[in-house]
Amino acid sequence: MRIRRMTALAALTLSIPLFVPVTPAHAGANVDASRPGKASSVAEGYGGAISTVDPTATSVGLDVLRRGGNAVDAAVAAAATLGVTEPFSAGIGGGGFFVYYDARKRAVYTIDGREAAPMTMREDAFVNPATGEAYKFPEARVSGVSVGVPGTLMTWQEALRRWGTRTLAASLAPAAGVAERGFPVDATFSSQVAENQAAFGQFGSTSALYLPGGQPPAVGSTHRNPDLAATYRLISRNGVDEFYRGVVARDIVATVQHPPVAQQRIGKWDYEIRPGTMAMSDLARYRVRTPEPTHSQYRGLDVYGMATPSSGGTAVGEALNILEGSNLRALPKAQALHRYLEASALAFADRNRYVGDYTSRGTLEQLLSDGFAAERACLVDPAHALPKPVAPGVPDGSYGGCSRAAAGEANTQGTHTTNLTVADRWGNVVEYTLTIEQTGGNAMVVPGRGFLLNNELTDFNFTNTQAPAADPNLPGPGKRPRSSMSPTIVLAHGKPYLAVGSPGGSTIITTVLQILIGRLDLGLTLPDAIAAPRATQRNTASVQAEPAFLNSPEAKELERMGHAFAANPEIGAATGIEFRRDGRMLAAAEPTRRGGGAAAVVSP
């Protein structure tokens, strides 16, 4: 359904090129050529490539590449457009993680634009003082308490300053145009409003923008966001200081401290809407960080990911290290999937116990060490699934047997975000995941500014999940909540080979992992690895799996081995690019999940 948006948009914005045709060799079952608009989930060619979940954003990024912009320029322009067309998953009210391969330096760099807690946030921020109980999730989410200081705009500025060739103003301009002219509402957009109708209906600013006549916008109607266009232009004129210290900062703080609850609410909301304590000083002190990427080796390749506060890099890396001892390619498919599920569960146990914003470098190194992986891998029984949850291991640098373990538990996280992958003709690559946490963030549009605030601080654990051990992911002043976002760049002999990422809360980790082993071990093409039915084991009693996975013969075998399954209609919405030895780039997005994504190349 997303594709429809492009048809009308292309008519509106003639400067934005149409999509390149699908390369038949890779089209296969992944592409529905009958859909209008020519947006495709697969494209192959030269001179630069881009893949996002949305045809308008892909189109804007492709245009930047065609006009000589580099991967960073295109990524920022595309992300700013996603803030308009995917406002429930991405935008300047949120945060994210930007991973960059610099072709000249032959090195991978990252930007941590994760939201930060206000300095007043206490460990018990999500515990109701009246009852001593943790808030229910919707009550925590739709509040001022859940809002972290947004990092997205500063991420864009920092990426452009360090590696880009265009200004922030130039990068925001196409997106401002889309916001002002509008775009046709598709089924995904409309349904994302519908699933948020009760929450959005509590706030005048949000219902005015997203509930015209009290209802979700009709599919095919034109959605305009002039306030967001004006906000982008204000920032273009005055710089990001306007957002972190100026009038936009003032409006964010007012929204957090005095949620803009409507006089006439639409629909019923069963929870108290609590204010937060974020202050102007919290916005003013916000900085992006630039940590070293995580690094692990897998089958001779170098895998780079996101360091803390994301757990993505360590969890994907640890699971790959555990799997490296198995020859997945040679094993029957069910056996390979069994090892994938077990490695995921083990890595999640360790993530939950050890990974948070302040995890020491030493612990992170141990989690990614071969010795620790070997100790964890020897717990895997080829014939039987381990009882879940499994206990975390002890990453203390002294490894030997299978026996050492602490005690386990489960985890939760939201399900929506967005991801994009871009490469340019010079060989630079961006893998970028950005989010406002839940679909619809905390449901509050900043009045007059046209963007939703995040609820990222609900990614903290509300109470200790690891007792009697310490929980690394409890709230704290200035602290950043643990993420699962896993933008990943894989190098072969120092050059890009694969870049991939996905939304999906904590399932991001397993989605990225499953795509990597699909491509690297199981003989799938990148488009097929992205399209493949997914299953996710995050150290819980049952494996969540998509219907096509549940119906596969392998699922029956896995059940016989003791894996329990629960259905999940859709897991993740990935994008990726593969780099061929001859210089060709193969860009791939989802063929159907979230309405299908859009991949394009500069020269097919």
Which of 416/519 has CB closer to ligand GLU? 416
Which of 96/118 has CB closer to ligand GLU? 96
Distance CA 451, CA 251 (A): 11
Q: Which two tokens stand for residue 392?
A: 């975390």
Distance CA 426, CA 395 (A): 40
Which helix (H) or strand (E) is 492 found in, with range? strand 488-492
Interacting stretch for ligand GLU, rule CB under 6 A, among 16-24, 317-325, 504-512, 563-571?
Answer: 504-512
89 is in an annotated binding site: no
Nearest to 286 by CA among 258, 329, 320, 252: 252
User: Residue 120 phi/psi, 5° resolution?
Assistant: -90, 0
Active site residue 131: no
Minimum gap (Å) between residue 251 Cβ and ligand GLU = 23
Check binding of 413 to ligand GLU (CB under 6 A): yes
Distance of CA 297 to the CA centre of its chain: 23
Minimum gap (Å) between residue 31 Cβ and ligand GLU = 25
Interacting stretch for ligand GLU, rule CB under 6 A, among 235-243, 248-256, 413-421, 516-524?
Answer: 413-421
484 is in an annotated binding site: yes
Q: Binder to ligand GLU among 192, 484, 536, 568 (CB under 6 A)?
A: 484
Which of 350/437 has CB closer to ligand GLU? 437
Nearest to 12 by CA among 219, 212, 224, 186: 224
Interacting stretch for ligand GLU, rule CB under 6 A, among 255-263, 284-292, 497-505, 574-582?
Answer: 497-505
For ligand GLU (CB under 6 A), the number of binding residues is: 16
Applying the rule CB under 6 A, the residues between 71 and 100 that interact with ligand GLU are: none
Distance CA 340, CA 320 (A): 9
Interacting stretch for ligand GLU, rule CB under 6 A, among 12-20, 252-260, 407-415, 538-546?
Answer: 407-415
Minimum gap (Å) between residue 490 Cβ and ligand GLU = 21
Distance CA 470, CA 542 (A): 26
Minimum gap (Å) between residue 503 Cβ and ligand GLU = 4
Check binding of 417 to ligand GLU (CB under 6 A): yes
User: Residue 96 phi/psi, 5° resolution?
Assistant: 175, -175
213 is in an annotated binding site: no
Minimum gap (Å) between residue 67 Cβ and ligand GLU = 31
Residues 6+ apart with CB under 8 A from 447: 204, 205, 251, 255, 260
Check binding of 504 to ligand GLU (CB under 6 A): yes
Q: Binder to ligand GLU among 326, 415, 473, 568 (CB under 6 A)?
A: 415
Applying the rule CB under 6 A, the residues between 450 and 469 that interact with ligand GLU are: 456, 459
Which of 20/57 has CB closer to ligand GLU? 57
Which of 64/508 has CB closer to ligand GLU? 508
Residues 6+ apart with CB under 8 A from 601: 20, 43, 44, 45, 46, 47, 48, 49, 50, 585, 587
Distance CA 166, CA 73 (A): 6
459 is in an annotated binding site: yes
Which residue out of 23, 188, 417, 421 is catalytically annotated?
417
Q: How far is CA 14 from CA 8, 11, 64, in A?
A: 11, 6, 14
Region of residue 45 (phi > 0: left; psi between -120 and 50: alpha; otherwise: beta): left
Residues 6+ apart with CB under 8 A from 246: 238
- Binding-site members for L-glutamate are 114, 459, 483-484, 505
Q: Which residues are near ligand GLU by CB under 6 A? A: 413-417, 435, 437, 456, 459, 483-485, 503-505, 508
So which residues are the catalytic ones?
417
